[in-house]
């Protein structure tokens, strides 16, 4: 799934091999100039209106998690926890012009537990400290706003919007970057010369991250409006 040219906001660098010196009397040839055309970044872009079949992708990686969740019924269990948060989350997605599907991202981040902590992350959206601070959250010995689900939701929407612009609305890469960091994703894309998430060789956790979310979303859609029945 190739979503077009990936804009990573970096200056193109030409890699050259060993330089061959010109013969005596011969004019040194000028290096070939490459014209790099980048699409302008529209900071006011409404991602909610972007046509995308990404959320409906069905492949073996998604099917594996679909079968797993059908046995465990995890999405339906988590839906009960999600319901109190969804009105606020949907409103923030609307404000930040992001797809509503991101409202369910905390399902795989924290199981919709605002007090959830892991080794390096905390809160509904499982921000690590550096990202939380970068998004304007207070994190110090006296307060940790990652555990304030409303403030952390606003921060998460700002971060997802930033990633959406960085990866030009390629939601698979946006989610991968949310999980493993945008720098690591851009490095993988550059090294492998491939911006197709499904073909990237990246860490296992991120490889499974996107299919897990898609499987949950698709299963809940199948049972909408009451996924618990």
Residue 109 known to be catalytic: yes
Query: Could you tell me how far CA 198 lies from the centroid of its own chain?
Result: 13
Task: Map out the domains of the chain as residue ranges.
Answer: 47-223
- pLDDT tens profile 78-127: 998 999 999 999 999 999 999 999 999 999 999 999 999 998 999 999 99
pLDDT in the model for residue 43: 61
Exposure class string for 100-127: b at 16+ Cβ within 10 A, else e:
ebbbbbbbbbbebebebeeeebbbbbbb
Query: Which residues of the chain are modeled with pLDDT < 70?
Result: 1-43, 51, 224-229
Topology of domain 47-223 in CATH is: Lysozyme (1.10.530)
Given the residues 109, 145, 187, 208, select the one marked as catalytic.
Answer: 109
């Amino acid at each position: 799934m190739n979503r077009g040219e990936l804009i990573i906001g970096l200056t193109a660098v030409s890699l050259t091999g060993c330089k061959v010196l010109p013969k005596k009397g011969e004019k040194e040839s000028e290096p070939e100039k490459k014209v790099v055309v980048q699409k302008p970044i529209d900071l006011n872009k409404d991602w909610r209106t972007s046509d995308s079949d990404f959320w409906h992708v069905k492949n073996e990686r998604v099917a594996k998690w679909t079968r797993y969740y059908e046995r465990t019924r995890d999405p339906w269990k988590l839906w009960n926890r999600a319901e109190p948060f969804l009105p606020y989350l949907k409103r923030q997605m609307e404000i930040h012009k992001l797809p509503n599907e991101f409202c369910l991202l905390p399902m795989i981040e924290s199981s919709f537990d605002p007090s959830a902590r892991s080794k390096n992350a905390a809160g509904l959206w499982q921000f690590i400290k550096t990202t939380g601070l970068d998004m304007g959250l207070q994190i110090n010995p006296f307060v940790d706003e990652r555990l304030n689900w409303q403030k952390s939701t606003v921060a998460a929407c700002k971060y997802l919007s930033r990633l959406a612009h960085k990866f030009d609305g390629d939601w698979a890469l946006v989610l991968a970057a949310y999980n493993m960091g945008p720098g690591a994703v851009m490095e993988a894309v550059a090294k492998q010369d491939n911006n197709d998430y499904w073909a990237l060789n990246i860490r296992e956790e991120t490889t499974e991250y996107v299919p897990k979310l898609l499987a949950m979303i698709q299963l809940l859609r199948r049972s909408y409006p009451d996924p618990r029945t």
